[in-house]
Structure 1
Amino acid sequence: MIKPREKAPELQIKLVNNTTWKLSDQSPENFTLVLFYRGKHCPVCKSQLEELQKKLDKFTDRGVNVIAISSDTEDVAKATHKEWDISNIPLGYDFSIEEARQWGLFISSGIKEEPELFTEPGLFLITPDQTVYWESIQSMPFGRPGFNDVLGGIDYILKADYPARGEA
């Protein structure tokens, strides 16, 4: 598990627009929000990402770059991007289970129509120098932080110059 104030693992991921996204290439004004989601099979993920799409400008206005990532295959991720209302969210795919474990994400074995293995949700705010500032990791699809809470937290962090917590 990565603690706040520690360097995030290097992250390089293919996007559905046929480009490659690299964490170390990001230069946000304040943060990069990395949202790991379970995959196309997850209706809670669909709701979460569609909510993120609606609030994307609010993150951009706060100097926050956003990306959403799953372990789905290219074909499944491209179908997700096409079918869900998330056209402006950079969508990464083929995130390996090994890399997910480096990030401290929970891994589940598929049931019913799910992939054999996939990541459970995680939300990370990463500073411009690629250190972890805030992380929220779930072992279930439920109980994810709401984006209004995240935006409110970012507002407070920026106003109060609040340090990352949880490092001890």
Structure 2
Amino acid sequence: MQNQILKAGQTFPDIKVKTEDGREQALVDVHNKATTAKWTLVTVYRGQHCPICLKYLNELNLFTGRFNALDIELVAVSADDKQQLAQFKDKGLEVSFPVVLELQVEDMKKLGLYISEPTSNAETDHLFAEPALFLVNPKGKITMIEIANAPFIRPDIDRFVSGLEYAMEHNYPTRGTHSY
């Protein structure tokens, strides 16, 4: 399967991941979104081997109050397994939002993510996704997308949250929906 190109306004794909305690769940529960007023910000990170991811997720956690004020739930996901998440926490990951596991390559492709091979076994033991952000509205539709092919390309969190605050206050439309 080749990577798909997700479009703004599209329904977020039905993707199953594992929780830290081993339960399977939807990455974004698109079927339940019609009954809740919560938005979801999905943050795809490379894995425990990435010090930039560690810093970014911990910084993202500093903004949870502002995300909560906007009714945005945060969730982070990678291809890492439970043991690798434990190693990430040992390295200093301290977040209050869920970090889910075992994003499969087929699902990375559904999301249109860039996928990388490890440079060595010291880095990691599996293919992994490069960073991405997906803002999903309460109806399960993707309203904002940021997909990167390298760990250095990520939005400034303060600017991003300020933009979200503006967008929510002014009922900013989903952009980038023109088809050519």
State whether TM-score is above 0.5: yes
State the 1:82 CA deviation. 4.8
Q: Which residue, 41, 45, 63 being the options, matches 2:53?
A: 45
Distance 1:162 1:50 in 2: 28
Per-residue displacement from partner, 1:23-72 (whole Å, max 9, x unpaired)?
Answer: 12456535200000000000100000110121112111111000000001
Instruction: Tell me which protein shows more helix as a share of its residues.
Output: 1
AA at the equivalent of 2:148: Q
AA at the equivalent of 2:6: I
Tell me whether 1:148 sits opposite 2:158 in the alignment: yes
Distance 1:71 1:157 in 2: 31
3-state DSSP class of the match of 1:48? helix
AA at the equivalent of 1:89: F
AA at the equivalent of 2:20: V
AA at the equivalent of 2:160: V
Instruction: Identify the residue that residue 109 of structure 2 maps to in structure 1.
Output: 101
Distance 2:21 2:95 in 1: 10
Instruction: Identify the residue that residue 114 of structure 1 maps to in structure 2.
Output: 123
Distance change >3 Å, CA 96–CA 141, structure 1 → 2: same
Q: Which residue, 155, 169, 177 being the options, matches 1:167?
A: 177
Instruction: Identify the residue that residue 88 of structure 1 maps to in structure 2.
Output: 96
> Contact (CA 8 Å) 1:81, 1:87: kept in 2 or not?
no
Per-residue displacement from partner, 1:68-100 (whole Å, max 9, x unpaired)?
Answer: 000012211133235423241201111001101
Q: Which residue, 13, 16, 33 being the options, matches 2:20?
A: 16
Tell me whether 1:64 sits opposite 2:84 in the alignment: no
3-state DSSP class of the match of 1:13? strand
Once the two structures are overlaid, the 10-residue window that deviates more, 142-151 or 130-139, is 142-151
AA at the equivalent of 2:123: E
When the two chains are superposed, the root-mean-square deviation of aligned CA atoms in Å is 1.7
5+ unaligned residues in a row in structure 2: which ranges? none
Distance 1:147 1:17 in 2: 29
Distance 1:84 1:11 in 2: 28
Once the two structures are overlaid, the 10-residue window that deviates more, 158-167 or 82-91, is 82-91
5+ unaligned residues in a row in structure 1: which ranges? none
> Contact (CA 8 Å) 1:28, 1:64: kept in 2 or not?
no
Identity, % of aligned positions:
27
> Contact (CA 8 Å) 1:28, 1:63: kept in 2 or not?
no
What is the TM-score of this pair, normalised by structure 2?
A: 0.86
Instruction: Identify the residue that residue 35 of structure 1 maps to in structure 2.
Output: 43
